[in-house]
Chain A
Amino acid sequence: MKNIIQNKSKDLQNEIDSYLKCITDSSLLFFEGAREAYRGDYDDAENRYRDISELERRADEHLKAIQYKLYAYNIAPDSRADIFELLDGLDDIVDRAKKNIFQICVEKPVIPDCMKDDFIAITAASVDAVDILIQGVRSFFEDVNSLEGYIKNVYLYEKKADALEEKIKRSIFQSTVVEELARKFQLRYYVEKMAMLSDLAENLAKKMLMYKIKRII
């Protein structure tokens, strides 16, 4: 009875806010790190990787606390599984971003100057998709009626990332700037991994739309 009269949701709201802040910061750091790596500033990129790892560790702690509080306070029992899946999905995106930046720092691929802007553009499109997704997640909690606008924008950035992926792949394999096949494969790998972030964002946006439909009375 006490659980019902006492509104403990504020505590959980704060926890979710902190978690989303970690995800947003990770996404920004990832973009900075990737841009530095494309320019060849691997020491700075390595620092960004460490910062992202620390943020991810903090995000994991928040996620555990969210899961505990959702069940311990018996908050939103009919949609808590959806809420947790949604937040866990964001953690997967950060994990992917961290792996990408780690891989770049280890392999130190040489990006041809003529392709650097496209690499930055595809990374920016993916990061934008993730940022809009995070805003959508906030809206899912705070103002569900305006969620669809964010979802449409995630789709838009994912499409942009797809178009850039296609463009960069063609230039890798059709131009003579990159000669060795192994280097071509390596660059293609990074293009795919960068575009993958926007794919993950799109998948989560689709799920979020389903969760919204489930909430309609």
Chain B
Amino acid sequence: MILKLFYLSSGLFMGWSLGANDAANIFGTAVGTKMVRFTTAAIISGVFILLGALLSGAGTTGTLGALGAIKALPGAFIVSLTAALTIMSMTKAGLPVSTSQAIVGSILGWNFFAGATTDYTVLYRIAGAWLFTPILAALFSVGLYFLFKAILENIKIHLFSLDWIIKLSLILAGAFGAYSLGMNNIANVVGVFMSVSPFVDIQVGDYFVLSSLQQLLFFGGASIAIGVITYSKNVMMTIGSGIYRLSPVTALIVVLSSSLVLFLFASESLQAGLIALGLPAIPLVPVSQSQGVVGAISGIGIAKGGGNINTRLLGKIVVGWLLTPLCAGILSYISLFIMQNVFLQKVFI
């Protein structure tokens, strides 16, 4: 069991680093500009990420499971670890890197190493979602920008009352953002362990069964929450006072826009609703919160007349789209080779 938990540790490390970095996208400006205290932000993020992961995280997790059904725990360990290492090194290089892209690259590396067939329909669906993440976030932020502008230009409200409303809205949007992050990005943390979960179903009382998947989602969600609480403060301060420099209202628009995108790509009930209405379904795919944020900020730049678009950053995203899965895939392939031939572990069945 200890060895099994050790293999799970790479996923938990992935969750921890995701929490440390991505929660800053949700509450960074609010905390950095002192609108919301860090403790409040950390508690709300932690709780709602965990709730999102537990209640609605199964959809995107299933999609990653479909891309590569890893049936050996050491293989899942390497896939998750190499994705996390890729993220670390890409972040150091200053790229707005996506955990989703890293994990997909690592899974593809595993598919090549194990000789497993890659489901290209799923892969294209995932790649399409990556492409649409910043575009959709930009569209949402343009819409929200004009909506907020129209409201603020036509209401008579005291500066302090407005400040209070924005503060409350940032908290609510942050909670929604954290929930969306949990439901969408939990797949990156536990998706590869789905078929090799070290947990067994637990019967709680007469009516309730805590399934192995739920336990996996809980540990994944908890690792993200711990990442938020233990390590996201500095990242939040950097975002709030340095890189993005947003006003509280624009921060609210950015959080809402990027969270909506994550929600769209993760909500099973929304997907079911669209199918019931005979509309095309939105695929359940883990997408990048950071790239959603960059898209949303660019959207505001477009809405303001196009002067503020950071084309260099957008260029970096495109480079990241290609480089992240490629690096993760190569690293995964090499590491799987080492694990199999040096440590003599079965990385695929």
Contact = CB atoms under 8 A, between A and B. Distances in A.
A103 interface: no
Interface in B1-59: 33-37, 40, 43
Nearest to A2: B40
A215 B153 CA distance: 11
Contact of A9 (B43, B145, B164): B164
A78 B35 contact: yes
A115 interface: no
Contacts of B249: 217
Main secondary structure of the interface of A (DSSP, over half): helix
A74 interface: yes
B158 A217 contact: no
Nearest to B304: A217
A112 interface: no
B302 to A, nearest CB: 14
B248 A78 contact: yes
A79 B149 CA distance: 18
Contact of B152 (A3, A74, A217): A217
A65 to B, nearest CB: 15
B156 A217 contact: no
A217 B145 contact: yes
A79 B171 contact: no
Contact of B158 (A13, A74, A83, A214): A13
A7 interface: yes
Interface residues of B, number: 28
A154 B36 CA distance: 37
Interface string B153-195: 1101011110110011001000000000000000000000000
A77 B160 contact: no
A141 B160 contact: yes
Interface in B40-91: 40, 43
A143 B35 contact: no
B149 to A, nearest CB: 6
Given A4-B36, A77-B33, A142-B158, A217 B163 contact: no
B199 interface: no
Nearest to B154: A145
B159 A144 contact: yes
Nearest to B168: A4
B250 interface: yes
Contacts of A142: 156, 158-159
B34 A13 contact: no
A217 B149 contact: yes
A9 B163 contact: yes
A75 interface: yes
Contacts of A74: 34-35
Contacts of B153: 145
A12 interface: yes
A217 B148 contact: yes
Contacts of B171: 4
A9 B34 CA distance: 16
B247 interface: yes
A140 interface: yes
Contacts of B253: 217
Contacts of B164: 7, 9, 75
B42 to A, nearest CB: 11
Contacts of B154: 145
B33 A145 contact: no
Contacts of A3: 37
7 contacts: A4-B36, A13-B158, A13-B160, A78-B33, A140-B159, A215-B159, A217-B253
Interface of A: 1, 3-5, 7, 9, 12-13, 74-79, 83, 140-145, 214-215, 217
